[in-house]
Chain A
Amino acid sequence: MFNQILFLYCAVVIITTGLLAVRFKNPVYSVLAVLVLFFHMAGLYLLLNAEFLAAIQIIVYAGAILVLYLFVVFLVDLRQELTVERFIANHRFGTIASIGLGGCLLAVIPFFKLGAKGEYPVERIEQLTHTKAMGFELYSTYLLPFEVAGLILLIAVIGGLVLARKDRGEADNSGTDSCEVKK
Chain B
Amino acid sequence: MIPLSWYMILAAILFSIGTYGFLVRRNIIIMFLSIELMLNAVNLNLIAMSHYLDSLRGHTFTLFIITVAAAEAAIGLGLVIVLFRNKKTVYVDQIKELKG
Residues of A within 8 A of B (CB): 3-4, 7, 11, 14-15, 18-19, 21-22, 27, 30-31, 34, 37-38, 41, 44-45, 47-50, 52-53, 56-57, 60-61, 64-65, 68-69, 71-73, 75-76, 81, 84-89, 91, 93-95, 97-99, 101-102, 105-106, 109-110, 112, 114-122, 125, 130, 133-134, 137-138, 141-142, 145, 149, 152-153, 155-157, 159-160, 162-164, 174, 178, 181-182
Contact B33 A31 (CB under 8 A): yes
Give CA–CA (A160, B14) in the complex, Å: 28
Given A64-B70, A114-B52, A182:B47 Cβ within 8 A:
no
B92 to chain A minimum Cβ distance, whole angstroms, is 7
Among A69, A85, A117, chain B packs the most CB atoms within 10 A around the CB of A69
Contact B4 A114 (CB under 8 A): yes
Contact B56 A163 (CB under 8 A): no
Contact A3 B59 (CB under 8 A): no
B55 to chain A minimum Cβ distance, whole angstroms, is 3
Give CA–CA (A75, B91) in the complex, Å: 12
Give CA–CA (A112, B77) in the complex, Å: 37
Chain B residue with minimal CB distance to A54?
B47
B67 touches which of A27, A48, A152, A181 (Cβ 8 Å): A152
Contact A65 B73 (CB under 8 A): yes
List which B1-48 residues lie within 8 A (CB) of chain A: 1-2, 4-10, 12-27, 29-30, 32-34, 36-37, 40, 43-44, 47-48
